[in-house]
Structure 1
Amino acid sequence: MLVGYARVSTTDQSLNIQIASLIAAGCEKVFSEKLSGTTSNRPQLQTAMEFVREGDVLLVMRLDRFARSNRDLHNMLHQLVAKGVGFRCIEQAGIDTTTSLGKLMLGVLGSVAEFETDLRRERQREGIDAAKAKGAYKGGKARIDPARVRAMLSEGMRPGEVAKALGCSRMTVHRASA
């Protein structure tokens, strides 16, 4: 049985193209979700991994829809192999764990994908550091007024009570009062 998995990163993106492609490729069952790939808790992926049985093949559009790091990729593939389940990508036709060449391609492309993620993270960090140096990046907007927190604490309120009143965590209260 071919089982599909589709994922987009944000709720405003559409799963329609991926789902249609998976069905056209012969998937009898498709699991889908709208969550970041870096999120380790992807319930539909976990359900798909539990659903597949020996002889099945898990099919995705692209490798980046399935895993973001080599470690995650190999951990999930290890789970599939242990169950006797194959893995294929539609748009990266060389990736097919049911063949030796496909396994090689998977390793190479997985490494390239992880490399690209690392480069993107480095560029983002460089951009943030440059903006901070220019004084243009000051972090997110303050959600809690530290003076108000200190005033509430000085009136005798406990940190938990202040947190509840302001709709934040106790740790935020402690940081704002320091």
Structure 2
Amino acid sequence: MVEQMMQNGRVYGYARVSSTDQNLDRQREALAGVDVLVEEMVSGKSRDDREKLRTLMDFAQAGDTIRTKSIDRLARNTRDLLDIIDELLAKGVSVEFVDTPQLSVSTKEGRAMITIFAAFAQLERESIRERQLEGIAIAKAAGKYEKAPKLAPEQIEDARRRISDGVPKARVARELSVSRQTLYAALSGSGKYAEAAA
């Protein structure tokens, strides 16, 4: 019966990158053949900030499958990952990871492996972040560090066009994964964007 439900269900692909300057091509290739591909450009730190994932989880029905390229595309921390999986399984929705097809979310062994994989991935990200912060601190102390602008000139021009077409600034900032203050600075050519404006 369960196998029949799975055959009748739809397969949704979920692809995510943290910012607009990252590329979704590898994930699109890995998820080729799904019925519907949902893409999102937002940090994976919290599910609350990922509107498209929340909508997908609400929309998916029993017998459907949500497929991602890897576990860190679905969540960036172990607790959030397990909560998402539990919520989907409770609805009868299966979860698949292309890079690690052996991780079955429906068995206790598979869940144990997912927990271990997710924990190591989280540890690696935190270690990388610590090294980045240490490098930045050293560069700042030497007077060599200046954070690059978050928005490229093409993105600023596109933002201007969309705002002139009536799209709210808050929405444009959200879709560019920047704060409203950053968007305002870019549009006005102030701060780090003064040179680009000149």
Give the structure-1-normalised TM-score.
0.67
Give unpaired runs (5+ residues) of structure 2: 1-8, 150-183, 186-198
Structure with larger RCO (C-alpha < 8 A, sep 6+): 2
1:4-153 superposed matches below 5 A: 4-24=13-33, 27-38=34-45, 40=47, 41-137=49-145
- Kept in 2: contact 1:86–1:96 (CA 8 A): no
CA distance change for structure 1 residues 132 and 93 in 2, over 3 Å: closer, same or farther?
A: same
Matching residue's letter, 1:5: Y
Identify the residue that residue 154 of structure 1 maps to in structure 2.
none
3-state DSSP of counterpart to 2:31:
helix
Number of positions where the alignment pairs a residue of Structure 1 with one of Structure 2 = 141
Distance 1:38 1:138, change over 3 A: same
Q: Secondary structure at the match of 1:38?
A: coil
- State whether residues 46 and 80 of structure 2, in contact with CA within 8 Å, keep that contact through their aligned partners in structure 1: no
Greater radius of gyration (CA): 1
SS at match of 1:23: coil
**Closer/same/farther in 2, CA of residues 133 and 14 from structure 1, 3 Å limit:** closer
Report the Cα distance in structure 2 between the residues aligned to 1:63 and 1:128, rounded to whole angstroms: 29
Deviation of the 1:12 alpha carbon: 3.9
Where does the alignment leave 5 or more consecutive residues of structure 1 unmatched? 142-166, 169-178
* Aligned-residue CA RMSD (Å): 2.5
> 1:138 Cα deviation (Å)?
6.5
Shift of 1:86: 1.9
Contact 1:94 1:105 (C-alpha < 8 Å) held by counterparts: no
TM-aligned CA deviation for residue 72 of structure 1: 1.7
